Structure 1
């Protein structure tokens, strides 16, 4: 369980944010629900974005949905495999951003949302 003082969490939390993008709202909703149901993320936020990128030598500009997944670093490998298995893109974005500090109550909630029935209590 995280310490009660959020300042104690700086630089050492076992939490992260994972980003991925999909081509539309329907795919975003489906993937977000699957991630939370699989307990690989406690929460997934969906934002509409406009992405400008180069693909196969062409400059592209497309609307996408970005998924911001709140999770634990221990879930990252399984989450990345899950995203690859359920993603329509040939090369999906899968980026982990460490959480350097956070509210102890919120981080405990992430623990609860990513803990399966088989996991020992944290």
Structure 2
């Protein structure tokens, strides 16, 4: 299993909770941390924008990234949502085993 940490932001707590729950219920993620709101400043379509966003830290496997991307695209209100996957190269073996077990496909 290749563990990943996937990062995204959503516009509000309700959207964050809904997305996090679906990712875990569908076994796309073992765990999703819903963080406190942050203030983002970014350039979009030629203008500097600011907004409050809720960051999500999604623990999963590389095999589940396509499912996570599909779920995020389906639920996210932005045309181009932030979705970044970072390989986890080191971690507590028992924790990484748990991530692998919780993101396995079960029939």
TM range (shorter): over 0.9
> In the TM superposition, what whole-angstrom CA distance separates every residue of 1:14-66 from its partner, at most 9, and x where no partner exists?
10100111001110011000110110000001122111001122211111001
Shift of 1:88: 1.0
Name the CA distance, whole Å, in 2 between partners of 1:61 and 1:108. Answer: 39
| Equivalent position SS for 1:65 | strand
Pick aligned residue for 1:63 from 37, 52, 64: 52
Q: TM-score, normalising length from structure 2? A: 0.93
1:28 aligns with 2:16: yes
Q: 2:41 is matched with which residue?
A: 52
Unmatched runs of 5 consecutive residues or more in structure 2: none
Aligned residues, how many?
A: 106
Q: TM-score, normalising length from structure 1? A: 0.82
| Equivalent position SS for 1:64 | strand
| Equivalent position SS for 1:117 | coil
Q: Which runs of 4+ in 1 moved over 2 A?
A: none
Unmatched runs of 5 consecutive residues or more in structure 1: 1-12
Q: 1:97 is matched with which residue?
A: 86
Name the CA distance, whole Å, in 1 between partners of 2:69 and 2:20. Answer: 13
